Amino acid sequence: MKISTRSRYGSRLMLELALNYGKGPVFLRDIAKNEEISEKYLSQIVIPLKAKGLITSFRGMNGGYVLAKSPSQINLREIVELLEGGLELLGCIGNSSTCSRVAICVTRDIWDLVGKKIAQILESVTLEDLIKSHNLKNEEAMIYSI
């Protein structure tokens, strides 16, 4: 199983906005530069994030993007689930009519459990948690570079 580039980049985009929370809008080009991600690709990622109400955009010279809620109120599950189109590992978990073996399939139950555990972990991690980890990693990097 792999998390898509869309979710990885979307998480990094949201972290950048969280790091700048309360400081005003951030230009997409600045996020793209800081994260070494194509601005064009990010412009596609912001569409569902904005539609879901996780970010807000402002036009004009002082425009850009901001989080629509506090970093402590946005968790990774919201971001990944939105950008992946769900968290089910198998099609039959979200839609049991796709397989005639659903009632007797033991492996489906395991994959369902794994998916639920992944969802729990993602839900337990907020953007505020990522900010703390980011700051800690930057402090450690400074210590090692001295």
Q: Record the tokens describing residue 8, joined without a space.
A: 């990885």
What is the per-residue pLDDT across 134-143, written as a single tens digit (0 to 9) for each? Answer: 999 988 777 7
CA-to-CA distance for 83 and 97, rounded, in angstroms? 24
Rg of the chain's alpha carbons, rounded to an integer? 18
Burial 104-120 (b: 16+ CB within 10 A, else e): ebeebeebbeebeebbe
Q: pLDDT value at position 145?
A: 61
Determine contact, residues 64/28, Cβ cutoff 8 Å: yes
For the chain, give every domain's residue range.
Answer: 5-145
What is the per-residue pLDDT across 51-79, written as a single tens digit (0 to 9) for each? Answer: 999 999 999 888 899 999 999 999 999 99
Specify the CATH number of the domain 5-145: 1.10.10.10
Q: pLDDT value at position 25?
A: 97
* C-alpha 97: how far from chain center: 29
CA-to-CA distance for 113 and 36, rounded, in angstroms? 35
Phi, psi of 57 (to 5 degrees): -115, 150
Average pLDDT for the chain: 92
Q: pLDDT value at position 24?
A: 94
- Walking along the chain (146 residues) 10 residues at a time, the average pLDDT comes out as 91 98 96 96 97 95 93 98 90 79 85 93 98 91 67
Q: How far is CA 22 from CA 10, 17, 46, 141, in A?
A: 20, 9, 19, 26
CB count within 10 Å of CB 36 equals: 7
